[in-house]
Amino acid sequence: MADLRDSLRARAADLGFTVCRFASAAEPWSAGERLAHFVEAGRHGDMGWMETTLERRAHPTAMWTDARTAIVLGLNYGPDHDPLPELADRSAGYISVYARGDDYHEVIKGRLKTLAGQVAARLGAEVKVFVDTAPLMEKPLAQRAGLGWQGKHTNLLSRDHGNWLFLGVILTAAEIEPDAPETDHCGSCTACLTACPTNAFPAPFQLDARRCLSYLTIEHAGPWPIEFRALTGGRIYGCDDCLAVCPWNKFAEASREARLTAREALVSPRLADLAALDDPAFRALFSKSPIKRIGRDRFVRNVLYAIGNSGDAGLVETAERLLDDPSPLVRGAAVWALSRLLEGEMFAALCEAKLAREEDEAVCTEWTRASPSPSGEGG
């Protein structure tokens, strides 16, 4: 068994994985109960798939009754610098570190299938491969396998790699001796909790996704609640604040995976350039990127919220052009951006002129929300 595990670890390293460990997929755990409480509290927001797959997601054997062992793989995607100072450039957009290179699903999946095929051939047992797209709770499995632990920000945290590990899992019907699980090493530190721009953590080890900027920029389909728009700053896809401030990152190393290297065009991209993207240009810029999944309209919505937070009067014309965008989501976000960049009278005159030309529900709704109140303060 030791030879088998050493052989699989060596093959995983050859395939580019940073770490490979083993856990029981059949033993009971409390992760399913915690997930049920999360969904019952409505903290999953618009992610209805979490509710519809809750029973299958509760435990690996609820999805596949024959699962006995989880082979958990980690791939380091650590940045070569602290990304948070980039937020100071208010005329640029901030894209989460994980999304600056190729889509990690595509980077990992083929390698997992290669390794899984060797497991099946050697053990004569059925295998299944997972990369964050099936109802499987990878982070509890990773903690059980000893890759790291779920920190107070609920993300996997490693003593060797900090916060920067992509996960992949191979489930097999074969019995393989498990590794020792990892325990919590957060101690009294609360850096991740206090760093969150939107106070998305009701308590340590708990997340309310409805307040999370990663959820809002990626998963939420409609206009954002007003209270979170100014808090996003320049974050247009994802958020790294709770990850990047963790003291355990002092042991992390920059990723050596070429396909995960940040594309130059996705590090501090100019908001004006991003706002000008039509659908073909959006698809071309984000080819092989996870960003392409959210679509052009949702992405430009995020860009316009960042434009509204930029304080850059030079972006007024950019936002004004998008008042005539075919997407009501984009038009509404343009109204909010202009409400932040223009003085009250100028903003009111602009919106009245727009409404005089046509009855636009998206513009009307956002104008009502953003119009100056009797006290003279914008919405």
Helix axes 2-14, 104-123, angle to 10 degrees: 150
Phi, psi at 12, each rounded to 5°: -60, -40
Rounded distance, CA 119 to CA 271, Å? 47
Instruction: Give how far Cα 93 sits from Cα of 58, 86, 100, Å.
Output: 37, 9, 12
End-to-end CA distance of the chain: 64
208 is catalytic: no
| Secondary structure class of 333 (helix, strand, coil) | helix
Range 257-261 contact pairs with CB under 8 angstroms and sequence separation of 24 or more: 257/16, 257/75, 257/76, 257/77, 257/101, 257/107, 259/101, 259/102, 259/107, 260/75, 260/77, 260/101, 260/102, 260/104, 260/107, 261/100, 261/101
**Sequence-separated (6 or more) residues with CB below 8 Å from residue 188:** none
Residue of 132, 160, 179, 312 marked catalytic:
132
Residues carrying an active site annotation: 132
